[in-house]
Amino acid sequence: MAALKIIVVSVTPLQQNCTLVSDAETRQTAIIDPGGDADRIIAALDANALDATAIWLTHGHLDHAGGAAELAEKLNKRPDHVPVQIIGPDRRDDMLLKNIVKQGELFGLAGLRDVTPDRYLEEGETVAIGPHVFDVLHCPGHTPGHVVFINKAARFAQLGDVLFRGSVGRTDFPYGDHAALIDSIKTKLLPLGDDLRFVCGHGPNSTIGAERASNPFLK
């Protein structure tokens, strides 16, 4: 099986890690969390000769989902392009996806758009890029409908704003739930194994093992 190729593009003034996950052989690519800067994401796809086939969303915050509608529209206008669908997150983040323009106003960010996914995701479903299958886990707490994408075979995950290197997602929103977040991490992510490496929504990569050993929020 061809390797899984990972490219991170930092998007929006909030420096969110938009992640391109590709099959190295066919170049088929899923774009995880295009929060904005659609033209820069397209430039990264073109520079690496990647063929976008889907947009996957971890949750409904503006810096993760605010560029999805524009990106899908631009990609789908290209000639000979396979239609790109917007997939995820869990339906419980619908109230955020419908509120992205207003979220942007609070941060002084214009040009973002509300999103209606082509398909919501649920715990236990899978999504795939070519032969690379990702398990979908529902990890609420940062937002009610947050999902993460786990490729067990490649020992790789994209965890959005659930778990960071040395930190966890903020929960000081009216809909935030710190206890649920920690429970999601301890019951769903830590059991995946210490060698699982992950990209998160902000900041550097890490592994489950490093966070199990030293993340102060998991003591």
Task: Return residues touching Zn ion (CB under 5 A).
Answer: 61, 161
Amino acid letter, 179: A
User: Could you tell me the smallest distance in angstroms from the CB atom of residue 181 to Zn ion?
Assistant: 11
User: Could you tell me the smallest distance in angstroms from the CB atom of residue 71 to Zn ion?
Assistant: 18
User: Could you tell me the smallest distance in angstroms from the CB atom of residue 48 to Zn ion?
Assistant: 26
User: Could you tell me the smallest distance in angstroms from the CB atom of residue 77 to Zn ion?
Assistant: 29
Which 8-state DSSP code applies to residue 119? B
User: Could you tell me the smallest distance in angstroms from the CB atom of residue 52 to Zn ion?
Assistant: 23
Tokens of 209: 């093992």
As a 3-state breakdown, the chain gives helix, strand, coil percent values, each rounded to 5, of 30, 25, 45
Residues contacting residue 148 through CB under 8 Å, at least 6 positions apart: 58, 136, 137, 139, 157, 158, 159, 160, 162, 189
CA–CA distance, 184 with 191 (Å, rounded to integer): 11
Distances (CA, A) of 138 to 135, 160, 200: 10, 11, 15
Q: Is the peptide bond between 174 and the residue preceding it cis, with omega within 30 degrees of 0?
A: no
CA–CA distance, 15 with 132 (Å, rounded to integer): 27
Between 90 and 161, CB nearer to Zn ion: 161
User: Could you tell me the smallest distance in angstroms from the CB atom of residue 59 to Zn ion?
Assistant: 6
Between 61 and 113, CB nearer to Zn ion: 61
Between 161 and 211, CB nearer to Zn ion: 161
Between 37 and 161, CB nearer to Zn ion: 161
With H, G, I as helix, E, B as strand and everything else as coil, classify residue 63: helix
Between 109 and 129, CB nearer to Zn ion: 109
Between 130 and 160, CB nearer to Zn ion: 160
CA atoms lying within 13 Å on the CB side of residue 205: 14
